[in-house]
Structure 1
Amino acid sequence: MTDTNSKPALPDQLSGNPRSPHHVAEIFEHTIGITLNGKEHFNVEEYCISEGWVKIPSPKALDRRGQPMLIKLKGTVDAFYK
């Protein structure tokens, strides 16, 4: 018997971009929260807990494919299910 309410363990590194090798679709079926230095961020594109960084999209700058450029912020990262 499997429990339908069980959630997969959050990985050390996770990306919201489906083209990334660190993207895990099963995790995005649930709501995830990310804190950096004790402050919750709602626009995190990718994170790594062990290395202590998150990547958030730049408000204006775009790359050559039209995707927002990502800014890396460093600090204490914590990921959790809401």
Structure 2
Amino acid sequence: MKRSVQFKIYLGLLLLCIIGFQFQVTTVDDFFVNPVYIGSMVLAILLVIKALGYTCQKCSRNQIVLGFFKYRLPTSKCYNCGHDIDQHRT
């Protein structure tokens, strides 16, 4: 599966967990053991790791994080040099 599609799927799952969390009634005692909360935290950490590691092999530029407040959804081609990022992936 392409890395850009995989990242978009993880992002969609995170949004579903966040939306699903809004419909659950939780108390203070069981907040941190809520499965939707745990799933959201795991997906959020996974997305941050994947976003920081999503770089072009040719120009070594990150494809998602452009600046402190600038982000993009990834594509299969590099935004800077046009290199196919998924071409030589092992």
Q: Same fold (TM over 0.5)?
A: no
Higher helix proportion, which one? 2
Larger radius of gyration: 2
TM-score, length of structure 2 as denominator length: 0.27
TM-score, length of structure 1 as denominator length: 0.29
Higher strand proportion, which one? 1
